[in-house]
Amino acid sequence: MIGSFQVAGNLFPELTRLQQQLEELFQPAGTAGIRSVAWGAFPAVNVGSTADSVEVIAFAPGIDPKEIEITVDRGLLSLSGERRTDASQGQQAADTYAQERFTGKFRRVISLPEDADPAKVEAKFRDGVLHVTVAKKESSKPRQISVS
Amino acid sequence: MSDNRNVTERDQTANVTQTGQTRNMPKQALAPAVDIAESESGITLVADMPGVAKDRLTIKVEGDNLTIEGQAQVDVPENIELLHSEVRSPYFRRSFTLSRDLDPAKIEATLKDGVLQMHIPKSEEARPKRIDVKVG
């Protein structure tokens, strides 16, 4: 084997990844608008909805939360920032065997549902996960109408 | 039915014996993206494991096999309906084979903001040495 560190089962995770990418490619994207079609980009994003809010979960490990810029404009939530390479890692390394992790600037745009309220956005960051909560407009919340 | 139960039970026992712990990881897990670099002192492995807290991360060395496993935890409201999902599993797992020149007993690992950084030092004998040539 070449190199002193063999990546066992390297092929299978790669195949799984490929399969996921293909699945994603052929799956109708629920919330993708014309400006938000970037699949497989960094950070990976999950979007969920409840009766009161739209929850956007961005998987952004290794990023300083202060450096993430979050904006809401015309129903688009945009997340941008930069992930830098670890300086301690690059300097003294003689050989690099794998470099799968994303580095550099990123920007992801997520189109929010129409009933999202751009004035009520909250963001939390924990363990490399950015959690953005966008409240829904009062008028669009489900109401129960009682029959008198 | 009874067959199924048997299989499950056997799997659990196998897991307990192999890993020495009771937490079972499901078969479907994502392979975290990694950076692997080697220096004179050893190998540095950096893995992206967003959402994984320290208490949900497991690093195992069995023989020459190194496995990193973690479970991401994201607090979302209970009645959430998923509209779009790129991360399909909260579990991360990846295994590597260590070569003999590495010293698994001295692995150092730190976890910060969902990034696991490990340093696997080379054993003393395996480090490159400079041999002085005496002038005769």
Q: Is residue B59 part of a domain?
A: yes
> Distance between CA A109 and CA A103 in Å, rounded?
18
Give me the number of domains chain A comprises.
Answer: 1
Q: Which domain holds residue A77?
A: 31-85+102-140
Residues in CB range of B105: below 8 A, 6 or more apart: none
Cβ–Cβ under 8 Å, residues A58 and A108: yes
B124: left (phi over 0), alpha (psi -120 to 50) or beta: alpha
Q: Which amino acid, residue B105?
A: A
Nearest to A48 among B31, B83, B97 (CB): B83
B5 within a domain of the structure (yes/no): no
Structural domain includes residue A23: no
Pick from B43, B44, B86: CB nearest A46: B86
Is it the case that residue B27 has pLDDT exceeding 70?
no
Look at residue B124 and give its three-state secondary structure. helix
- Best residue in B87, B94, B122 for a mutation probing chain A (most A CBs within 10 Å): B87
Q: Is B35 on the interface with A (CB under 8 A)?
A: yes
- Put simply, whether the predicted model's pTM sits higher than 0.90 gets the answer no
Rounded CA separation B29/A27 (Å): 20
**Do the domain assignments include residue A95?**
no
Which of these, A140, A122, A120, lies nearest to A131 by C-alpha position? A122
Average pLDDT, chain B: 80
Q: Is residue A94 situated within a structural domain?
A: no
Q: What is the spatial order of strands in the sheet that A69-73 belongs to?
A: A69-73, A76-83, A104-111
* Residue B130 to residue A9: CA distance in whole angstroms: 35
Is residue B57 domain-resident?
Answer: yes
Q: Is residue B52 part of a domain?
A: yes
Inside any domain, residue A53: yes
Residues A37-62 pLDDT 10s:
555 578 999 999 988 899 999 999 99
CA angle B24, B29, B35 (to 5 degrees): 120
Rg (CA), chain B: 20
Q: Which comes out higher in pLDDT, residue B130 or A59?
A: A59
CA distance B125 to B104: 14
Mark yes or no for CB contact B85/A47 under 8 Å: yes
A to B CB pairs, distance under 8 Å: 166
Residue B117 lies in a domain: yes
The tally of domains found in chain B comes to 1
Give the distance from residue A130's alpha carbon to the nearest chain B alpha carbon, in angstroms. 9
User: Is the residue at A134 inside a domain?
Assistant: yes
Q: What band does B125 get if pLDDT is binned at 50, 70 and 90?
A: confident
Asked if residue A109 is part of any domain, the answer here is yes
Domain hosting residue B109, numbered range: 33-76+83-126
Burial class (CB in 10 A: 0-12, 13-18, 19+), B114: buried
Q: Based on the number of CB atoms within 10 Å of its own CB, is A19 exposed (0-12), middle (13-18) or buried (19 or more)?
A: exposed
The DSSP call for residue B102 is B
Give the bridge partners for B72, in sequence order: B52
For a pLDDT cut of 90, what percent of chain A falls above it? Answer: 26
What CATH number should be reported for the domain holding residue B122?
2.60.40.790
Omega prior to A43 cis, within 30 of 0: yes
pLDDT per residue over A10-32, tens digit each?
666 777 777 777 665 555 444 44
Q: Is residue B60 domain-resident? A: yes
CATH code, A67: 2.60.40.790
What pLDDT digit, counting tens, does each position of A87-142 carry? 555 455 578 888 888 888 898 988 888 888 888 999 999 999 999 999 988 776 67
